[in-house]
């Protein structure tokens, strides 16, 4: 390691105590940082926070996991040990490696040849160095150093009296982090989901699996003393027992390089994944609480317990205990099995092994750029043992285990690609950049930092390159510096921090989101080294997910409410009977005995029947041949599918296929559609001077000079060929696309936006192919093989604020400098020169559902470029409002009077039958919201193309609201536009909800459609909860990516689509489908049947209990109000099972309309959402029916069989069973073969059972004709009036569905 020069040493401690760019409003992140998505704050009660000032939390008594002895490391089985790696790693950037290494890396080493002085510095390096403060720390003026010192940023005394790393959280008990051998499950190895499977590791809230000490007082710790170990360290709090985690830290952190003491005692959360809902201690209490918090189950428990009291026992004990025990055992077993599967998934994720750089270990493995050469010292550790400050090596297709700062990559440019589909739902690869200072470590070995030295340094081939890479990684272990990171937040698009490298001259570089690898993303190509910054529950992935709760259907809530009414009826009836008897003797015992006698009013069989019915519905859904692949993961919610009133949908991958295609190109006076793209290719070939064959195709092997096109462009009247060439060249240059050459020599494109990929593919189709691209250069090739090389001078990335993207390039053939820019028409219209067609044509394309991009350019002189470059550099290193300063410079120098080249229209292909599905669901009365992280313009186009917005419907956009007054004005305007479609961004959504929550939700829920853009995963979930809480209606959420999991879990019904973004949403959802159009049948048909059948089944089971209780009440009244059961033993068991269960349960096969009618008239679905199938009205109707039939059967039995009074049991029970069989037949709408079979089998079973129950039936009496006709008369009295009423009602007052039943 090189020594610090004396003139720098005096100020080398600048930034050692606190960051050079503090986390404050006055110092925002770098302008290169990505868009900032505001988070939605619903002011919900926060979980209990851990006291970060706890003075009694001692450091770990065990050795650091990240830095064990080399002997322990060598005893491990590395995932790569003994396995030879491929010589050539597939890296999309590898083909762009130059022999001339970037000169900005030349000053990091001094062991080799040519120097890294000014002579070796390229002309561009100083202009593009945006991450190093101007002049370096040694060049600060005296006033600047005084100012930094006064703010705690200089080398002066620390005003707080703390050491350099005292901003870390206080320490927790860490004894669970002792070194241990963790077995690695088969098939893991840190790999991604290449086979379509996904480890559900990040689905729920991450809870630390460590011993969390009890919260202590607020005693301040001495800066130099170590915390005292107390007995509190070894206690487990109630929070840890019941899986409740504390909040992530709210303090920023400063992380030193290569400091084992910091890594072992920092007190940051363990990097473990924990999705289990229970632990060993909490399982039984929580499961039982979930079951008995409902009155329905609690009532059965009390009745069952009462049978253990001899004075209250009535009949068989098993009659009351066994059904309840059966239901509980099934529920407990299911919960235990589900939680065990979560445990196995957690173990798989936590035991995935990774390589970390470790000075105390011998090399245990090698990564891709360390092949046949010495490797840096590494050790293999499980993911759960990674700590803040560890240097982790990642290979291609490895999942990132924690939030990390990217230090080095295998590509010389310091670039790498990551897949973020499970974090933000976007399938395109994202470009990430390594820190410039650490990327350049070891690059000057064997060659200079200049152009010649760079060439000499790599002339030795791949083996020398690998040696340099290995040397650079090893130098990380001797690096003196630190990383400052702001407190963990949920926002995945921003990061505020910096890195100080004292061993490299004390350089301080800002860190943005482009330098970060977020946990749960996947390294798409190459290999890299990163420093762990956030672990466990403090990672962005975990903070953007929520703990899945137990979902309960609305039908169960309604039945639970009815059970309370039935209990009140039971208690009232018991008291009345005891009162009529004059409260004699132990009247309170009689009250309890009557309560038990009438307990059948709330039959335990209701729960069993409903659960079995849900199983049937789930089976019917999963075996439906028209929605193949559908999986029911939560079998308790099929009825909810018939009650949905709000549908919240993701956009990318759910409504769209995320496949873009350029459909239109408009040049002002000429428009080209898909069928005329051949003309574009012809015009381009003519302008480029490419000769054509007889078929109009370019001839290969012959090229001409570009002068032909230039000559055409200089004519007095520019012809169409030249204009086509200009716009195609602009489209081929203005983007952030990187070409990837596959093994079969084909070219694929990767970019953060699918729009850009679509445009570059289009330019290839018309004859201009992007063949090479790195950070400083780009090569375009014509169809005839002619190459155009360009130097990339500056790139201005797209942001949600600017809505445009620009690039400055130098044509290496002509040395001309050109600024190209593309963006949304709303911003480009103010930048381009005056024209009379832009607004009209963009409107036409938008109405077709196309995403419009306006292309423009400006030629720059050398003097203007140098002037701009100087102003731009000053703006980028300013400590004020950096973003605004950069925007001002760009606007002043570049964005003035741009030449308008053309407008493109790109179509995002929709999923199959999306338009028809949305139209049908809207006709069914379902209000549809689209929640997306995409831009407002993109979301609006998709809303139009999917017909979410009706033709000619007004679209009202609300974006970038800054004050509550603005929000109030927008809401007032919305009150007069309730027929519009609202498009709102996340920032404005947050403002409206914070200040006008009730008004906003009241208005937005009245709108036919709402599109919320720039939503984070947490915002999506919060919107779903807000709609549920305000409207009390059923909300369904559908998505296909990991970013949709929180929303899916927050909904009443979550639907996941198995798509290109993996299976995470599918695994977390209640229902998994293969495409959006399956929703139609899932809701309109299966949802209808499930709800209608369960409602009818529940009411019939209640009726079955009520009628026998009425018979018991009449019997007790006749026999002097004595609490004696009329039916005991096997009769009661048989009545609830063998004698009535099959016919009653067969109602789950009934349907009120056929499938074609339900799908043809979706308006029928609206009736279901009103809940009329099971309401207080229907309940009291069945209550009256039960009272009438029970009273009729008992009284008629007493009247008709007065002489056979001793046989009253057999008389009334036979009438009761036959009445129930007839009532099932009355309620059936559409007969099924199994329904008829169940009726016949049950009747035969009852007749046969009479022969085996002589204690209840006198065969000599039962076989008489008098018994048969009198029983028939009793049944006719009880059932015939109801059948007649049904026929009359169907004739004169039919329901809506009855009119269409025979359609």
Which residues have a catalytic role annotated? 650
Which pairing describes strands 528-534 and 851-860: parallel, antiparallel, or unpaired?
unpaired
Token pair, residue 521, equals 């993303």
Token pair, residue 41, equals 């704050």
How many residues in the chain? 1303
State the Cα angle at 778 between 776 and 780, rounded to 5°: 175
Per the DSSP assignment, residues forming a β-bridge with 1059 are 1062
Burial zone of 1153 (CB within 10 Å; 0-12 exposed, 13-18 middle, 19+ buried): buried
Per the DSSP assignment, residues forming a β-bridge with 904 are 665, 853
Token pair, residue 66, equals 């990240």
SS3 (DSSP) at 119: helix
Give the neighbor-by-neighbor strand order of the sheet with 429-433.
429-433, 415-419, 522-523
Report CA Rg, the chain.
Answer: 37
CB atoms within 10 A of CB 180: 11
DSSP code of 427?
A: -
CB atoms within 10 A of CB 1119: 11
Determine the Cα–Cα distance for residues 194 and 1142; give it in Å rounded to an integer.
48
Token pair, residue 218, equals 């607020």
CB atoms within 10 A of CB 220: 8
DSSP code of 169?
A: P
**Among candidates 353, 356, 406, which has minimal Cα distance to 383?**
353
CB atoms within 10 A of CB 413: 18
- CA distances for 619 relative to 554, 616, 638, 1054, angstroms: 21, 5, 11, 18
Burial zone of 949 (CB within 10 Å; 0-12 exposed, 13-18 middle, 19+ buried): buried
Name every residue whose Cβ is closer than 8 Å to that of residue 973 and which is 6 or more positions away in sequence.
956
Determine the Cα–Cα distance for residues 253 and 166; give it in Å rounded to an integer.
8
Q: Output the DSSP codes for 41-73.
A: ---PPPPPPP-TT-SS-PPPSSPPSSS--HHHH
Token pair, residue 1157, equals 């009618």
Per the DSSP assignment, residues forming a β-bridge with 794 are 808
CB atoms within 10 A of CB 966: 15
User: Roughly how many angstroms between the first and final C-alpha of the chain, as a whole number?
Assistant: 87
Q: Tell me which long-range contacts 1253-1256 makes (C-beta under 8 A, separation of at least 24).
A: 1253/1130, 1253/1131, 1256/1130, 1256/1131, 1256/1209, 1256/1210, 1256/1213
Token pair, residue 64, equals 């650091």
Determine the Cα–Cα distance for residues 401 and 394; give it in Å rounded to an integer.
9
Q: How far is CA 55 from the centre of its chain?
A: 37
Token pair, residue 853, equals 């991009």
Token pair, residue 1295, equals 């329901």
**Among candidates 489, 485, 490, 487, which has minimal Cα distance to 424?**
490
For residues 96-106, one letter each, b for 16 or more C-beta atoms within 10 angstroms of the residue's C-beta and e for the rest, the string is bbeebbbbbbb
Determine the Cα–Cα distance for residues 370 and 365; give it in Å rounded to an integer.
9
Name every residue whose Cβ is closer than 8 Å to that of residue 1229 and which is 6 or more positions away in sequence.
1150, 1151, 1152, 1301
Token pair, residue 612, equals 């079995």
- Which stretches of 351-401 are DSSP H helices? none
């Amino acid at each position: 390691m090189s020594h610090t020069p004396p003139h720098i040493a005096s100020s080398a401690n600048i930034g050692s105590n606190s960051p050079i760019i503090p986390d404050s409003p006055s110092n925002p992140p770098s302008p290169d940082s990505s868009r900032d998505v505001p988070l939605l704050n619903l002011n919900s009660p926060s979980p209990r926070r851990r006291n970060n000032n706890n003075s009694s939390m001692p450091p770990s008594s065990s050795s650091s996991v990240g830095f064990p002895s080399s002997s322990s490391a060598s005893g491990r089985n590395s995932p790569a040990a003994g396995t030879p790696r491929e010589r050539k790693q597939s890296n999309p950037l590898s083909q762009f490696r130059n022999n001339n290494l970037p000169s900005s890396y030349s000053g990091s080493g001094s062991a080799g040849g040519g120097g890294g002085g000014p002579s070796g510095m390229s002309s561009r390096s100083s202009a593009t160095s945006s991450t190093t403060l101007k002049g370096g720390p040694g060049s600060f003026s005296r006033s600047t150093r005084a100012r930094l010192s006064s703010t705690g940023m200089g080398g002066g005394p620390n005003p707080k009296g703390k050491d350099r790393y005292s901003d870390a959280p206080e320490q927790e008990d860490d004894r669970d982090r002792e070194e241990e051998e963790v077995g690695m499950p088969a098939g893991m190895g840190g790999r991604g989901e290449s086979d379509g499977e996904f480890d559900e590791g990040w689905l729920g809230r991450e809870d630390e699996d460590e011993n969390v000490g009890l919260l202590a007082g607020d005693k301040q710790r001495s800066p130099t003393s170590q915390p005292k170990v107390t007995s509190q360290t070894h206690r487990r709090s109630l929070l840890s027992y019941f899986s409740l985690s504390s909040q992530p830290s709210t303090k920023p952190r400063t992380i030193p390089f290569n400091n084992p003491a910091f890594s072992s005692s920092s007190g940051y959360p363990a990097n473990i994944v924990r999705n289990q809902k229970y632990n060993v201690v909490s399982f039984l209490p929580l499961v039982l609480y979930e079951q008995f918090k409902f009155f329905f189950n609690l009532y059965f428990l009390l009745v069952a317990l009462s049978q253990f009291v001899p004075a209250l026992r009535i009949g068989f004990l098993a009659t009351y205990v066994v059904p309840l025990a059966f239901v509980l055992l099934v529920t407990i077993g299911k919960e235990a099995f589900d939680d065990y599967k979560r445990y196995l998934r957690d173990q798989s994720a936590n035991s995935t092994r990774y390589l970390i750089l470790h000075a105390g270990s011998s090399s245990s493995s090698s990564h891709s750029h360390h092949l046949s050469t010495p490797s840096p010292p590494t050790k293999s550790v499980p993911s759960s043992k990674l700590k803040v400050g560890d240097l982790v090596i990642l290979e291609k297709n490895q999942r990132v285990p924690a939030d990390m700062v990217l230090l080095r990559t295998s590509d010389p440019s310091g670039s790498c690609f990551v897949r973020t589909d499970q974090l933000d739902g976007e399938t395109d690869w994202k470009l990430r950049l390594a820190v410039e200072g650490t990327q350049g470590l070891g690059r000057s070995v064997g060659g200079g930092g200049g152009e010649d030295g760079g060439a000499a340094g790599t002339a030795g081939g791949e083996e020398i390159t690998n040696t340099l890479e290995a040397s650079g990684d090893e130098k990380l272990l001797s690096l003196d510096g630190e990383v400052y990171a702001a407190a963990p937040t949920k926002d995945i698009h921003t990061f505020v921090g910096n890195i100080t490298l004292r061993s490299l001259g004390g350089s301080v570089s800002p860190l943005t989101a482009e330098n970060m690898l977020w946990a749960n993303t996947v390294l798409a190509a190459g290999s890299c080294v990163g420093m762990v910054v956030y672990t466990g529950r403090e990672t962005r992935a975990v903070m953007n997910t929520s703990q899945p709760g137990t979902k309960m259907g609305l039908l169960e809530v309604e039945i639970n409410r009815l059970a309370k009414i039935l209990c009140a009826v039971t208690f009232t009836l018991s008291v009345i009977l005891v009162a009529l008897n004059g409260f004699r003797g132990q009247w309170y015992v009689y009250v309890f005995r009557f309560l038990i006698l009438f307990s059948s009013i709330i039959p335990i069989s209701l729960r069993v029947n409903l659960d079995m019915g849900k199983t049937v519905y789930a089976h019917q859904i999963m075996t439906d041949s028209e929605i193949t692949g559908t999986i029911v993961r939560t079998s308790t919610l099929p009825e909810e599918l018939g009650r949905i009133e709000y549908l919240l949908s993701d956009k990318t991958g759910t409504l769209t296929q995320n496949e873009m295609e350029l459909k239109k190109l408009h040049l002002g006076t000429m428009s080209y559609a898909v069928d005329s793209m051949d003309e574009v290719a012809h015009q381009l070939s003519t302008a480029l001077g490419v000769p054509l064959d007889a078929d109009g195709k370019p001839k290969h092997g012959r090229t001409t000079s570009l002068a032909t096109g230039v000559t055409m462009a200089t004519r007095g009247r520019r012809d169409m060929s030249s204009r086509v060439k200009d716009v195609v060249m602009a489209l081929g240059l203005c983007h952030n696309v990187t070409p990837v050459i596959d093994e079969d020599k084909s070219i694929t494109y990767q970019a953060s936006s699918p729009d850009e990929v679509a445009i570059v593919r289009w330019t290839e189709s018309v004859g201009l192919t992007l063949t090479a691209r790195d950070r400083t250069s780009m090569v375009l090739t014509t169809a005839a093989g002619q190459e155009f090389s360009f130097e990339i001078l500056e790139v201005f990335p797209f942001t949600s604020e600017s809505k445009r993207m620009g690039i400055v390039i130098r044509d290496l053939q002509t040395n001309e400098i050109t600024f190209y820019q593309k963006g949304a028409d709303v911003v480009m219209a103010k930048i381009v020169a005056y024209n009379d067609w832009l607004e009209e044509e963009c409107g036409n394309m938008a109405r077709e559902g196309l995403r419009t991009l306006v292309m423009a350019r400006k030629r720059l002189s050398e003097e203007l470029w140098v002037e701009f470059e100087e102003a731009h550099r000053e703006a980028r290193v300013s400590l004020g409002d950096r973003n605004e300063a950069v925007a001002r410079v760009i606007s002043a120098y570049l964005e003035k009077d741009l030449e308008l080249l053309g407008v493109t229209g790109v179509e995002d292909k929709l999923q199959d039958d999306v338009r028809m599905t949305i139209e049908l669901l809207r006709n069914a009365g379902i209000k549809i919201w689209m929640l997306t992280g995409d831009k407002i313009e993109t979301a609006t186009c998709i809303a139009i193309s999917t017909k979410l917005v009706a033709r000619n419907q007004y679209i009202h956009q609300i974006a970038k609201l800054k004050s509550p007054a603005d929000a109030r004005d927008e809401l007032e305007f919305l009150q007069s536009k309730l027929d519009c479609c609202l498009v709102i961004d996340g920032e404005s959504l947050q403002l409206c909800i914070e200040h006008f929550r009730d008004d906003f939700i009241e208005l937005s829920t009245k709108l036919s459609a709402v599109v919320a853009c720039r939503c984070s995963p947490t915002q999506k979930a919060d919107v779903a909860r807000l709609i549920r809480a305000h409207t009390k209606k059923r909300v369904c959420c559908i998505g296909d990516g990991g970013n949709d999991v929180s929303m899916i879990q927050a909904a009443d019904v979550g639907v996941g689509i198995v798509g290109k973004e993996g299976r995470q949403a599918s695994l977390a959802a209640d229902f998994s489908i293969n495409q959006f159009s399956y929703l139609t049948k899932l809701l309109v048909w299966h949802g209808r049947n499930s709800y209608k059948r369960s409602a009818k089944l529940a009411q019939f089971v209640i009726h079955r209990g009520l009628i026998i209780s009425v018979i018991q009440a009449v019997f007790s009244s006749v026999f002097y109000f004595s609490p004696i059961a009329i039916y005991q033993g096997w009769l009661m068991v048989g009545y609830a099972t063998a004698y009535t269960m099959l016919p009653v349960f067969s109602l789950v096969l009934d349907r009120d309309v056929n499938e074609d009618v339900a799908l043809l008239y979706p308006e029928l679905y609206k009736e279901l959402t009103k809940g009329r199938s099971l309401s207080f009205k229907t309940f009291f109707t069945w209550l009256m029916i039960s009272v009438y039939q029970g009273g009729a059967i008992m009284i008629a039995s007493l009247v008709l069989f007065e002489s056979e009074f001793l046989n009253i049991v057999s008389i009334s029970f036979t009438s009761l069973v036959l009445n129930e069989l007839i009532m099932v037949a009355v309620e059936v709408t559409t007969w099924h073969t199994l329904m008829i079979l169940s009726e016949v089998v049950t009747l035969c079973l009852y007749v046969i059972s009479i022969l085996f129950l002589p204690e209840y039936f006198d065969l000599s009496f039962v076989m008489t004709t008098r018994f048969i006709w009198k029983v028939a008369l009793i049944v006719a009295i009880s059932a015939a009036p109801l059948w007649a009423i049904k026929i009359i009602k169907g004739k004169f007052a039919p329901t809506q569905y009855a009119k269409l039943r025979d359609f």
